[in-house]
Structures are given as structure tokens and as C-alpha cells.
């Protein structure tokens, strides 16, 4: 009886949030798209009246000299820049504080986030700290706790996966507690984004595969959830098709510029879908594997996704059947259930084709209760999932991904 009442409360909370979201600003980022689009960014920044920017990236991208062309164009336009390249793979609170201090100490007027999800998340959270100097990162975790407009923010993704260039979330790791939590607020959604496929050409195959499956997870979790609107349904369907048709091409031939471009677009659309329709338990569990074991987020999502979909079972077959039709893996003789299961099996096939493991060997038995508690704290009632998990259910899924 108590569990039934609790589930009712979760659903009521989700409905209230969904109604409230109708009154929020869902303006999408202004885009610069196509090959060499990054070369247009400097003049674009200058046109916004900005004379000094902070560029947030990581040392790996700096060592690859991927930003050199941007630096040259900024100099030509007379835009001064300061670099913060201390972002870690899972950005920490100290990362964010350092980044915020560099912005303030150098009198910057805007931020360019250049890289994958980690630089994006670090830059978003640092920008939030700039406008909310008295509010700590820990106090910003959760929903709608920033409120204030960020400095001009330009997002330049170098992976086709996180969709962070269009989302309202910044994921932060707390090294003291080994927790990974999200700050979610519409003000965190970048106002400008650059989708340049040339920036993703150098991605290693294993990064291409796991970030791509991260994007697919965004599309699927948004699509099967209970907070969809017409636009998020359309975005998720388009994203799923683009990712399915292009991810393995990009994995096997990293220089396929068309596949790379389509993956960037698919990732952007998937991000646009889940930034309003939310994700689900795949992300809740993946975030906590990342916090506990530093598991790369895309890899965690790729491994967990089919297991959570199988746990949801029949309640999502109709929606998965539609996705299966869209990607062209069905025939007229198949039932809804067969189509739904075919979609899950296709995810497994894609993982196997790109050498993504089916399970993990590092999850410790003693950590399971903590992982369950934290995953459910994130997921309930925050995510409008198709079926609500209790502790036993969550433990069952976590054990299913253990070797």
C-alpha cells in the first residue's frame, strides 16, 4: 500500500513539473553548422559585442592543436581570450571553482566551451557560479536553482554524444562523496552552438562508439518517457534514425565527413529531446557508476541501456516498435512485442559490432546498496520513466550488468 502511494506521489510530482515546464523558455541555440563552421565563430562572438572570452577545454584537445584555428580567428577579430584547460574527464567542484576564478580574474565577458561533455559541463557550472557567487555548486544540484541569466555562452562540441550544446544540464562529480549529480536549469542551455564535423574527425573509434551510444540513449530514454511533447517526439525519432544509420560508419571510417556531420546533428537532436523530456534509469545508474568508479559516461550508458529496456518490458514495446520501424529492422508479420524486442536486440548488435562490452567487472558487491540508493534518489521522482523502480528492481538491473 505504501509503495503504491509513493508511486502515485512520484507521478503527481512529474505531472506538476511537466505543466510548469510549459511556461519556461525553450529557445534552441542559434547554430553555426557545417565544415569549417568553427572558423566563423570569432566574428560571430565579436558581433555580440564581446571583446574578451574564456575558452574552457581540456589538455588533450590543446595537445592535439584542435583549437589553433579558433585562436587565429579570434586574434584576427581582435577578441582577446584566456584559456582554462584544467577540465578533468568527470569535472569536479574544484575544476568549476578554478574555471570561475579564471573568468572573473581576467575580466571575461563570455565563455566558449570547446570539447566533449566534460568541458561543457564545467563551463556551464562555472558560468552559474559567476552569476551566483554566494551559492555553492552543491547547493545548485537538482532542478531550477540557478535562475539567473548566464554570460554569453558558445558551445563547440568535439564529440557526437552528450548533446550538451543544447541541454539544460551540467553534470558534476563530488570527489568527497564520489557522487555524480546534475545541475538542471533552462538558463544553462547554451544560446549559441557550433556543429563542425571536422572537429570530430580525429576521435578514436572507441570514443566515437561510446559517445554515439550515449546520444542514442538520450533519444531512446526521452522517447519512452512520460513527459514528451510533439517536438521532443520528432527530435527523438529523427535522432534515432540518424544515429543508427551513421554511427557504425563513423566508427569504421573516422574520416567519413558525412557520417560525422549526421552524428553531430543526431546528437544535437537527441539532446534537444531529452533536455525537455528527460532521461531515465539508464542515466541514473550510469551517473553513479561514473561517480563511484570514474566509468566513462557514454560507455556506462551503452552497457546499461539494453538491460534497463528489458527490465521495462511490455510497457515500452509499442514505442520501441515505432523506433524499430523507423530504423528499418521490422517487417509486416512482426507483432508489437517482436518489434520492441528487435529494437533492444539491435542495440546489443550495435554494441557488439563496436566492441562495447556487455557487462562490467569492477562493480563491488559492497557498493551495490550505495549505488541503488543514489540511483533511485536521482531517478525518483525526477525522471518521468515508463515504469518506476524500487530498491529490489534497481539492484536486479545493477546485478545484470555485473560479471
pLDDT digits (tens, 9 = 90+) for 290-340: 999 999 999 999 999 999 999 999 999 999 999 999 999 999 999 999 999
CA distance 227 to 278: 7
Cis amide bond preceding 240, omega within 30: no
- H or E element, residue 192: strand 192-195
The verdict on residue 337 lying in a domain is: yes
Shared domain check, 58 and 193: yes
Domain coverage including residue 68:
26-200
- H or E element, residue 184: strand 179-184
Q: What is the model's pTM?
A: 0.96
Shared domain check, 324 and 306: yes
Shared domain check, 169 and 38: yes
Q: Are 24 and 186 in contact (CB under 8 A)?
A: yes
Task: Residue 342: give its domain's CATH number.
Answer: 1.20.1090.10
Task: Residue 85: give its domain's CATH number.
Answer: 3.40.50.1970
Shared domain check, 126 and 269: no
Domains: count for the chain: 2
Q: Are 391 and 399 in contact (CB under 8 A)?
A: no
The pLDDT, as a whole number, for residue 65 is 95
The verdict on residue 344 lying in a domain is: yes
Shared domain check, 220 and 364: yes
The pLDDT, as a whole number, for residue 363 is 98
Domain boundary among 200, 235, 259: 200
Domain boundary among 152, 177, 200: 200
Shared domain check, 342 and 226: yes
Average pLDDT over residues 173-197: 93
Shared domain check, 291 and 211: yes
Angle made by CA atoms 322, 325, 331, in degrees to the nearest 5: 125
The pLDDT, as a whole number, for residue 181 is 86
Region label for 181, one of left (φ > 0), alpha (ψ between -120 and 50) or beta (otherwise): beta
- H or E element, residue 336: helix 336-353
Distance of CA 27 to the CA centre of its chain: 18
DSSP secondary structure code for residue 33 in this structure: E
CA distance 224 to 89: 29
**pLDDT by residue (tens digit) across 334-364?**
999 999 999 999 999 999 999 999 999 999 9
Q: How confident is the model at residue 178 (pLDDT cuts 50, 70, 90)?
A: confident
**pLDDT by residue (tens digit) across 374-389?**
999 999 999 999 999 9
Amino acid at each position: 500500500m505504501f509503495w503504491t502511494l509513493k508511486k502515485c506521489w512520484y507521478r503527481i510530482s512529474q505531472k506538476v513539473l511537466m505543466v510548469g515546464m510549459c511556461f519556461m523558455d525553450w529557445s534552441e541555440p542559434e547554430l553555426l553548422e557545417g565544415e569549417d563552421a568553427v572558423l566563423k565563430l570569432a566574428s560571430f562572438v565579436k558581433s555580440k559585442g564581446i571583446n574578451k572570452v574564456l575558452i574552457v577545454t581540456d589538455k588533450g584537445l590543446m595537445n592535439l592543436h584542435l583549437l589553433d584555428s579558433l585562436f587565429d580567428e579570434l586574434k584576427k577579430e581582435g577578441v582577446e581570450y584566456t584559456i582554462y584547460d584544467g577540465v578533468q574527464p568527470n569535472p569536479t567542484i574544484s575544476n568549476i571553482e578554478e574555471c570561475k576564478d579564471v573568468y572573473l580574474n581576467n575580466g571575461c565577458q563570455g565563455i566558449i566551451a570547446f570539447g566533449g561533455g566534460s568541458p561543457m559541463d564545467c563551463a556551464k557550472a562555472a558560468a552559474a557560479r559567476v552569476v551566483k557567487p554566494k551559492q555553492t555548486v552543491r547547493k545548485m544540484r537538482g532542478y531550477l536553482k540557478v535562475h539567473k541569466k548566464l554570460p554569453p555562452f558558445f558551445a563547440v562540441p568535439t564529440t557526437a554524444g552528450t548533446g550538451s550544446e543544447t541541454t539544460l544540464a551540467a553534470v558534476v562529480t563530488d570527489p568527497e562523496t564520489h557522487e555524480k549529480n546534475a545541475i538542471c536549469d533552462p538558463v544553462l542551455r547554451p544560446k549559441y552552438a557550433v556543429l563542425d564535423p571536422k572537429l570530430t574527425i580525429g576521435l578514436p573509434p572507441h570514443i566515437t562508439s561510446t559517445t554515439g551510444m550515449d546520444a542514442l540513449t538520450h533519444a531512446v530514454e526521452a522517447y519512452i518517457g512520460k513527459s514528451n511533447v510533439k517536438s521532443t517526439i520528432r527530435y527523438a525519432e529523427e535522432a534515432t534514425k540518424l544515429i543508427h544509420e551513421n554511427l557504425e560508419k563513423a566508427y569504421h571510417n573516422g574520416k567519413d565527413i558525412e557520417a560525422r556531420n549526421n552524428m553531430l546533428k543526431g546528437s544535437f537532436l537527441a539532446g534537444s529531446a531529452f533536455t525537455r523530456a528527460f532521461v531515465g534509469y539508464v542515466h541514473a545508474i550510469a551517473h553513479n557508476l561514473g561517480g563511484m568508479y570514474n566509468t566513462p559516461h557514454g560507455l556506462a550508458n551503452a552497457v546499461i541501456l539494453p538491460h534497463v529496456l528489458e527490465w521495462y518490458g511490455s510497457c515500452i514495446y509499442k514505442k520501441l516498435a515505432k523506433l524499430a520501424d523507423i530504423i528499418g529492422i521490422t517487417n509486416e508479420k512482426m507483432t508489437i512485442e517482436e518489434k520492441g524486442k528487435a529494437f533492444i536486440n539491435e542495440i546489443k548488435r550495435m554494441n557488439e559490432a563496436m566492441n562495447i562490452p556487455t557487462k562490467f567487472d569492477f562493480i563491488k558487491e559492497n557498493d551495490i546498496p550505495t549505488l541503488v540508493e543514489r540511483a533511485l534518489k536521482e531517478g525518483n521522482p525526477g525522471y518521468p520513466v515508463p515504469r518506476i523502480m524500487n530498491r529490489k528492481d534497481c539492484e536486479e538491473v545493477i546485478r545484470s550488468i555485473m560479471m
